[in-house]
Chains A and B, each alone.
Chain A
């Protein structure tokens, strides 16, 4: 398609929405709903898209897409509200944001944190959209090079990095939580031979453990217990003079923003890796490249900008394999796939032949959704801060109920609730003992993928482990994992100290 035609389709799509009050209202309404969904613990972007899919089935295709993309963008961003205000990430994608956002709120910088997350989320979404339009073929080709070995290693890498970064105590605690998450993902019938693993003969466990109850249980319940049990006071609402971040801040952190957006798009484009991994990897990269990595965890602006830019730019990235190959890049994208199929759109290589300009239309909606999200975010942020006037004793039991109903609503399974409580109580104790929760959640999310891809890869190689080191991407991932592991061992530290000492002596 000629570039002029592409521009014309893109801008005409934007224009058609802007001049249509109904579609404009739908856009802002769905973004607002998404922000609320994301902000409330237990209501995820996936659940929002899922519920709205059924509600928008009767709408025309474009209107349905506006609503679904709006709620997706809004919910991924909205997760940061819970992270910053009450240290309960509304979504898994916002877990990394809690590491810096909540300490910022405790320091009285909640408004600044929200302003920065709103702006970086909007920038991230816009950059993601640009990649969706311009770089789709390139990233698609790269993702197509990945085999089962790379997917397994990517999952392993996610656990290792989140275990290393998020642990407040020794890194081994982070890793063991990752393995605990992987173990939870093993529960149920395996994907290849349908063999029941660790089900204790319970029928409800045969289908495996669902991610959302684990997520809510692991992040929400410990926080509720902690706040109510220990008379912990959720930070008093601070006066917010200015939500709009200064141009100085935007320019100062621009390299970090662009780098995080690139990470988000890159990870989003890899099928099965969602916004949460993008946020953690971007957060980890920001920490590693920061001039003051020791300040991470105490409320750094770099940290929240990295995670929020990455998780929102991941949306555009996740749409790339969805539209080009029919493979969703993230769980909400999987729900979008279902919605597209309901509307008679079959994503894949034939999409642009069957529906010319469809990708551009989706990109236009994504761009408008990012603007709507920014406007809604700037207006809503102050309202969210007002919510903190509600004493924790009034607020937290209601959060508990929302956690329960949100967890139940996804699969309409009461069993999810039976699972949520023990997960919550165990993680409450583990958190108190310095075990981080994010690696556990990441292990649960990626466990199935790691298991199936490891075995599938070895099946193709007839049990040979050589592809791990003969395939370039695999080799890089193996080296990164080994580096992450080695740099966190006592032996490595001793060797480094000896080398440094000998260098000093030589001088």
Chain B
């Protein structure tokens, strides 16, 4: 948790946001049937779908006001000013922000892009193959280069997803997007190997990278086996690799 004095500054922002949310809840609630007839049923206030939302909205507004007053009383305004001043002087692409991006970019792209268009196994390898070495190696320079490169790769997949080219291309060429994902994984691997060779802590990084790769490639294998074949959960996208697994599984069975 943030330090207490800074917290009051943030409280001002969050209480205002909660206040706005409370107002929104009320506005929407008052558009719900309160006394009118809905779906042929004459609605009374006490059976209205708006009843609890109104209670929630009012409570949220009142509590937000209490939090706001508490924050203002305890030096929140000053803390907020200091936070804004500190923000003005900070770099957008600082090491801290790059580290933050290294957490969020792969997570967001896995959920919103890759799981829908890339084979489940490859999507997980792409995620783990980036995230694990980027944090396990603990090198700011390698992380920065890897984040830029990964971001560029994800942009390509995003374009394929948004334009629905992934569907078209998959129809024309078998497992086209999966092949692209595989190439991306290999390119990422090459980037890491090159950067490790250049670094001073070559031996340590090499060892760590080997472990990271084992985790990145073996873990998804277990996940696919457990969920797809033991728990019988159909995976979000079963492409080249999962279909190959299925073929082997049903042949052996």
Q: Are A433 and B43 closer than 8 Å at their CB atoms?
A: no
Which residue of A55, A391, A459 has the most chain B CB atoms within 10 A of its CB atom?
A391
A20 to chain B, nearest CB (A): 24
Q: Write out the residue numbers on chain A whose beta carbons fall within 8 Å of the beta carbon of B246.
A: none
Residue of A nearest to B116 (CB): A414
Given contacts A414-B116, A418-B111, A463-B46, contact A430 B14 (CB under 8 A): yes
Do A229 and B100 have beta carbons less than 8 Å apart?
yes
Contact A393 B132, CB 8 Å, known A170-B67, A400-B107, A404-B110: yes
Whether A409 contacts B131 by the Cβ 8 Å rule is: no
**Number of B interface residues in the complex (CB < 8 A):** 65
Verify A183–B63 contact, CB threshold 8 A.
Answer: no
Interface membership of A194, Cβ < 8 A: yes
Contact B39 A193 (CB under 8 A): yes
Q: How close is A107's CB to chain B, nearest CB, in angstroms?
A: 19
Residues of B within 8 A of A392 (CB): 135
Chain A residue, CB-CB nearest to B4: A169
B162 contacts chain A at the CB level, 8 A cutoff:
no
B56-95 vs A, CB cutoff 8 Å, 1 = contact: the mask equals 1001100110110010000000000000000000000000
Shortest C-beta distance, B128 to chain A (Å), equals 5
Select which of A179, A182, A397 is within 8 A of B63 by beta carbon.
A179
A228–B70 Cα distance when bound, in Å, is 33
Q: Is B185's CB within 8 Å of the partner chain A?
A: no
Chain B residue numbers with a CB within 8 Å of A54 are 232
Q: Are B103 and A401 in contact (CB under 8 A)?
A: no
Residue of B nearest to A413 (CB): B236
A394 touching B215 in the complex, CB below 8 Å, given contacts A180-B60, A454-B51: yes
A402 to B33, CA, bound (A): 42
In A425-469, the 8 Å CB interface with B consists of 425, 430-435, 447, 450-451, 454-455, 458-459, 462-463
Given contacts A401-B219, A433-B2, A434-B7, contact A186 B14 (CB under 8 A): no
Residues of A near B7 (CB, < 8 A) are 169, 433-434
How distant is B11 from chain A, measured CB to nearest CB, in Å? 7
Is the CB–CB distance between B132 and A412 below 8 Å? Answer: no
Inside 8 A of B63's CB, which chain A residues have their CB? 172, 175-176, 179
With A412-B234, A455-B46: A450-B212 Cβ-Cβ less than 8 Å: no
Q: Are A401 and B227 in contact (CB under 8 A)?
A: no
With A176-B18, A183-B25 already in contact, the answer to whether A463 and B45 are too (CB < 8 A) is: yes
Residue A190 lies at the interface, judged by CB distance under 8 Å to chain B:
yes
Chain A residues touching B, majority SS:
helix
Whether B112 sits at the interface, judged by CB under 8 Å, is yes
| A455 proximity list for chain B (CB < 8 A) | 46-48, 51-52
- CB-CB contacts of B18-53 with A at 8 A, as 1s and 0s? 100100010010001100001101011111110111
Residue of B nearest to A225 (CB): B103
Query: A224 interface residue, CB < 8 Å from B?
Result: yes
Q: Is B145 among interface residues, defined by CB-CB distance under 8 A? A: no
Contacts of A420 in B (CB 8 A): 111
**The residue from A180, A197, A221, A393 contacting B53, defined by CB atoms under 8 A apart:** A197
Q: How many Å from the CB of A112 to the closest CB on chain B?
A: 26
The secondary-structure label for the interface of chain B is: helix
Residue of B nearest to A48 (CB): B231
Is A109 located at the chain interface by the 8 A CB criterion? no
Name the distance in Å between B131's Cβ and chain A's nearest Cβ.
Answer: 4
Known interface pairs A193-B39, A412-B233; A182-B70 also in contact (CB < 8 Å): no
B206 close to A (CB within 8 Å) = no
Partner of B66, one of A172, A224, A397, A405: A172
Q: Provided the pairs A195-B33, A412-B233, A458-B46 are in contact, do residues A433 and B10 lie with their beta carbons within 8 angstroms?
A: yes
A415 to chain B, nearest CB (A): 11
B115: interface (CB < 8 Å)? yes
- Whether A197 pairs with B47 at a CB distance below 8 angstroms is no
A253 at the interface (CB under 8 A from B): no
Whether a CB of chain A sits under 8 angstroms from the CB of B249 is no
A192 close to chain B: CB less than 8 A? yes
In the bound complex, CA of A457 to CA of B212 (Å): 57
Q: Mark A372-408, 1 if CB is under 8 A from B, else 0.
A: 0000000000000000000111101110111011001
Interface centre among A173, A228, A405, A409 (most CB of B within 10 A): A405
B248 proximal to A (CB < 8 A): no
* Residue interface mask B100-118, A partner, CB < 8 A = 1: 1011100110111001100
Interface residues of A in 188-206 (CB under 8 A from B): 190, 192-195, 197-198
In the complex, the answer to whether A186 meets B53 with C-beta atoms within 8 Å is yes
Cα distance, A183 to B21, chains bound together (Å)? 10
In the complex where A393-B132, A394-B211, A409-B231 touch, is A193 in contact with B49 (Cβ < 8 A)? yes
B99 an interface residue at 8 Å Cβ cutoff? yes
**A417 part of interface (Cβ distance < 8 Å):** yes
Q: Is the CB of A169 within 8 A of B60?
A: no
A417 & B211 in contact (Cβ 8 Å cutoff): no
Q: What string of 1s and 0s marks CB contacts (under 8 Å) between A219-253 and chain B? A: 00100110011010000000000000000000000
Chain B CB within 8 A of A497 CB = no
CA distance A392 to B18 in the complex (A): 34
Q: With A186-B53, A225-B103, A414-B236 given, is the CB distance from A394 to B25 under 8 Å?
A: no
Residues on A with C-beta less than 8 A from B233 are: 51, 405, 408-409, 412
Query: Does any Cβ of B come within 8 Å of A338's Cβ?
Result: no
User: Would you call A26 an interface residue if the criterion is a C-beta within 8 Å of the partner chain's C-beta atoms?
Assistant: no
Complex interface: chain B residues within 8 A of A451 (CB): 51-52
When each residue 216-242 of chain B gets 1 if its CB lies under 8 Å from chain A and 0 otherwise, what string results? 000110010001000111101000000
Can you give 8 A-B contacts (C-beta < 8 A)?
Answer: A55-B231, A168-B1, A169-B1, A172-B67, A172-B70, A396-B135, A404-B111, A455-B48
- Other 14 A-B pairs with CB < 8 A, given A190-B49, A197-B53: A168-B1, A169-B1, A179-B59, A186-B52, A195-B32, A221-B107, A225-B103, A393-B136, A397-B128, A398-B128, A400-B127, A401-B223, A420-B111, A425-B104
**A residues touching B (Cβ–Cβ < 8 Å)?**
51, 54-55, 168-170, 172-173, 175-176, 179-180, 182-183, 186, 190, 192-195, 197-198, 221, 224-225, 228-229, 231, 391-394, 396-398, 400-402, 404-405, 408-409, 412, 414, 417-418, 420-421, 425, 430-435, 447, 450-451, 454-455, 458-459, 462-463
Top 7 A-B pairs ranked by shortest CB distance?
A458-B46, A393-B135, A393-B136, A397-B131, A190-B49, A195-B49, A463-B46
